C-alpha cells in the first residue's frame, strides 16, 4: 500500500483553491461556464488509497505463466479485466486481490509461483482504473469489482463461493475480507492488511484522518462474520501499515486462525521462505 503526504497536502490545497476561485467568479462569467452537473471531487480516501498503473505499462506477455485474458463487467456495467491461470490437478482455486498500486501484470512472478509451485488455479483481476480495466477507482467501485470477480471465477472454474480461497494483499485484504463476511469461502489468506482505513489514515495523516469515515473498509468488524480458516501475515517492520494494526485485525478474527510474523520485513517484503512454507502447510490442512 502506497501513501504520499506531500501529494495529499497539495491535493487539498488545490481542491480548495479551485472551488474558491469558481465561487468568486463574477456573475457575468458564471453564465459562460458549461451547464450540467459538476464532476465530483476525488475524496480523501480515494486519494489516499489508489495509485493505479494502466496498460500498456508493464509486461503483459509474461513467460512461464499459463493464463487466459478474461473480460467481465462489474455491477454498474464497468468493463473489467483479469487473468485466469488454471492448473491441472489443482489443489485449490484462488481469487487474488492485489494492493493499491500497479496492476496484475506486476504480480506475474507471484502468479507463476502460485500456479507452478503451489499447484493452485488463480484468478487475478484489476479494479476499475487499473491495468486494462475501464473506469476510475473508488472504494465502492473496487468492492463491487471484487464481488464481480468472484462470480466470474466461480463461472470459469465451475465452483461455488464456498470453494473459493480468497487471498488479498494490503488493500486487497480489505476487499476479500468484505467478500468473506458476505459469503463464506473455503479459506481466507490476508497479507499486510489493516483493520480499518481510518486507522491507516491516522498513521500517515494524523491531522486529516477525521476526513475518512469511521465506517470505510472496517475489516475488523467484517472479519467477525467469518468463521473459517484464516492465515494472516504481517511484516514486523511494516512502515505503511504498522504491525500493531495487522495484529489488531488478527485478534478480531474467529478461530481457526494462524498469524505469521515476518521478522524485519517492511510492507512489501512478506514473500520470505518461511512465509511460503507456512502458506504451503496452511493449504495442505484445508478441508
Instruction: Please name the fold of domain 52-285.
Output: Rossmann fold (3.40.50)
For the chain, how big is the Rg over CA atoms in Å? 20
Confidence class of residue 4 from pLDDT cuts 50, 70 and 90? Answer: low
* Residue spans per domain, the chain: 5-45, 52-285
**Taking all residues of the chain, what is their mean pLDDT, rounded to a whole number?**
89
Planar angle of CA 197, 97, 5, nearest 5 degrees: 35
Question: 116-126, pLDDT tens digit by residue?
Answer: 999 999 999 99
pLDDT of 140: 95
pTM: 0.87
Q: Would you tell me how many other CB atoms lie within 10 Å of the CB of residue 41?
A: 12
Q: What is the pLDDT of residue 46?
A: 72
Q: Quick one: pLDDT band at residue 86, thresholds 50, 70, 90?
A: very high
Amino acid at each position: 500500500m502506497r501513501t504520499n503526504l506531500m501529494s495529499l497536502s497539495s491535493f487539498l490545497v488545490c481542491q480548495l483553491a479551485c472551488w474558491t476561485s469558481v465561487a468568486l467568479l463574477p456573475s457575468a462569467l458564471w453564465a459562460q461556464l458549461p451547464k450540467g452537473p459538476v464532476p465530483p471531487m476525488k475524496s480523501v480516501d480515494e486519494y489516499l488509497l489508489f495509485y493505479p498503473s494502466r496498460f500498456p505499462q508493464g509486461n503483459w506477455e509474461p513467460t512461464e505463466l499459463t493464463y487466459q485474458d478474461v473480460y467481465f463487467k462489474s455491477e454498474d456495467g464497468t468493463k473489467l479485466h483479469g487473468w485466469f491461470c488454471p492448473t491441472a490437478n489443482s489443489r485449490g482455486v484462488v481469487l487474488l486481490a492485489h494492493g493499491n498500486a500497479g496492476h496484475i501484470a506486476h504480480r506475474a512472478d507471484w502468479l507463476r509461483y502460485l500456479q507452478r509451485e503451489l499447484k493452485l488455479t488463480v484468478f487475478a483481476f484489476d479494479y476499475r482504473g487499473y491495468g486494462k480495466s475501464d473506469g476510475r477507482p473508488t472504494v465502492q467501485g473496487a468492492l463491487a469489482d471484487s464481488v464481480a470477480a468472484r462470480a466470474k471465477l466461480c463461472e470459469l472454474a465451475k465452483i461455488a463461493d464456498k470453494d473459493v480461497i480468497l487471498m488479498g494483499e494490503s488493500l486487497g485484504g480489505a476487499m476479500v475480507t468484505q467478500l468473506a463476511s458476505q459469503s463464506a469461502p473455503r479459506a481466507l489468506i490476508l497479507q499486510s492488511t489493516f483493520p480499518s482505513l481510518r486507522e491507516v489514515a491516522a498513521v500517515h495523516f494524523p491531522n486529516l484522518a477525521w476526513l475518512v469515515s469511521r465506517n470505510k473498509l472496517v475489516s475488523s468488524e467484517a472479519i467477525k462474520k467469518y468463521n473459517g480458516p484464516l492465515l494472516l501475515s504481517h511484516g514486523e517492520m511494516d512502515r505503511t501499515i504498522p504491525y500493531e494494526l495487522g495484529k489488531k485485525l488478527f485478534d478480531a478474527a474467529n478461530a481457526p486462525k494462524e498469524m505469521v510474523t515476518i521478522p524485519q520485513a517492511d510492507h512489501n517484503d512478506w514473500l520470505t521462505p518461511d512465509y511460503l512454507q507456512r502458506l504451503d502447510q496452511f493449504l495442505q490442512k484445508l478441508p
